[in-house]
């Protein structure tokens, strides 16, 4: 197995091997992977800005007088520029290693080995998916309980 086997799924390794076999250059494949990575990170950044906007509106709706100078809270151009910059940097940074490793795919070996069953490592992938879903579920439940506690805490009379 080559060094780039840990980074790509079997389908992506086969896709890169086919692209190389059809004549795609190493630079072309790297550009494609970097473009995908940057696009995903920018979409994630935009979604984060949308959640921030909704979160600010929700906090101001739930308790408008609890935070001093709460009417000054908002998103401006500096936050937008920072988010776009971090999104691009993240996309390039985390897309660079797979893009470099995509050029190291051995076409003949990859096409030959991906035709066979790879069920030996399938249990590891399935286990990781189960762990990710369980962790997400625990985090969502914790977030829901924290929001509920915050809401109930806002209704408590402090006594002064």
User: 21 and 79: one domain?
Assistant: yes
User: 59 and 132: one domain?
Assistant: no
Number of domains making up the chain: 2
Q: 116 φ, ψ to 5°?
A: -85, 160
User: 83 and 143: one domain?
Assistant: no
User: 36 and 105: one domain?
Assistant: yes
User: 82 and 27: one domain?
Assistant: yes
User: 31 and 83: one domain?
Assistant: yes
User: 76 and 155: one domain?
Assistant: no
Q: 158 φ, ψ to 5°?
A: -70, -20
pLDDT per residue rounded down to tens, the chain (160 residues) = 444 444 455 567 777 777 777 777 777 888 888 898 899 999 999 999 999 999 888 888 877 777 777 778 888 899 999 999 999 999 998 888 777 776 666 666 666 665 555 555 677 778 888 999 999 999 999 999 999 998 888 888 878 7
pTM above 0.85, yes or no: no
Copy the structure tokens of residue 124.
Answer: 């590891």
Tell me which residue of 42, 35, 46, 45 sits closest to 98, measured CA to CA.
35
User: 143 and 82: one domain?
Assistant: no
Q: Which residues have C-beta within 8 Å of that of residue 52, sequence separation ≥ 6?
A: 75, 79
The pLDDT value recorded for residue 3 is 45
Q: Is residue 52 a contact partner of residue 75, using CB atoms and an 8 Å limit? A: yes
User: 102, 117, 132 — which closes off a domain?
Assistant: 117
User: 159 and 131: one domain?
Assistant: yes
The pLDDT value recorded for residue 4 is 42
Question: Angle of helix 26-62 relative to helix 77-102, nearest 10 degrees?
Answer: 150
The pLDDT value recorded for residue 40 is 93
What domain range is 149 assigned to?
Answer: 119-160
User: 95 and 143: one domain?
Assistant: no
Tell me which residue of 66, 60, 68 sits closest to 155, measured CA to CA.
66
User: 28 and 95: one domain?
Assistant: yes
Instruction: Give kind and range of the element (H or E) at residue 108.
Output: helix 107-113
Please tell me the distance from the alpha carbon of residue 8 to that of residue 102, in angstroms, as a whole number.
Answer: 8
Tell me which residue of 46, 43, 67 sits closest to 56, measured CA to CA.
67
CA 116 to centroid of chain Cα atoms: 30
The pLDDT value recorded for residue 46 is 94
User: 102 and 132: one domain?
Assistant: no
């Amino acid at each position: 197995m080559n060094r780039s086997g840990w980074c790509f799924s079997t389908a992506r390794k086969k896709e890169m091997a086919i692209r190389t076999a059809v004549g795609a250059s190493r630079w072309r494949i790297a550009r494609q992977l970097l473009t995908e990575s940057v696009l995903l990170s920018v979409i994630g950044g935009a979604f984060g800005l949308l959640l921030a906007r909704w979160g600010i509106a929700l906090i101001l709706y739930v308790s408008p007088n609890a935070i001093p100078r709460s009417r000054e809270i908002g998103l401006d151009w500096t936050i937008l520029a920072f988010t776009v910059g971090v999104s691009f940097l993240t996309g390039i940074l985390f897309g660079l290693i797979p893009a470099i490793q995509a050029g190291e795919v051995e076409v003949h070996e990859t096409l030959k080995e991906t035709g066979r069953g790879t069920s030996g490592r399938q249990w590891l992938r399935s286990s990781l998916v189960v762990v990710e879903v369980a962790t997400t579920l625990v985090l969502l439940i914790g977030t829901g309980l924290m929001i509920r506690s915050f809401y109930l805490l806002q209704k408590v009379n402090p006594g002064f």
